[in-house]
Amino acid sequence: MTHQYTIYVRALRAFQYWMNKNLIANEHKGHWRNESNHYLIRRLREEVEELATLVSNTPYPSEQICEEAADVANFAMMLSDNAERAVMRLEEIKRKVDKLAREDVARGEGES
């Protein structure tokens, strides 16, 4: 394992800590899977603005910057999770349609 890789892993673990901390702290707000992508992208933009303001006005190091950066990442993750679930649903539908089409062909119903 290279030194550079160790730095990446450590940074990802630390960032994961902040993301988890913020998700747990905001659990009472409900699940993102119940929110529209329009809402989530609006909140992502708000969090980016909050982070930019903090970076401009806060001396390093700052736990607030870590928390706000994790908020940005969490909203991006929420959008990604919703997209992934939608893709998985589409793939499942495609598999079902393909199966029905194969069954139709096997019965001779799908030929013209």
Domain boundaries defined on the chain: 3-82
- State residue 68's pLDDT score: 96
Mean pLDDT, range 67-96, rounded to an integer: 91
Place of tokens 């013209």: 112
Confidence of residue 112 (pLDDT cuts 50, 70, 90): low
Encoded tokens for 25? 């702290």
Determine contact, residues 51/68, Cβ cutoff 8 Å: yes
Residues 6+ apart with CB under 8 A from 14: 66
Give the model confidence (pLDDT) of 14-71 as tens digits.
999 999 999 999 999 988 988 999 999 999 999 999 999 999 998 877 899 999 999 9
- With 90 as the cut, is the pLDDT of residue 106 above it? no
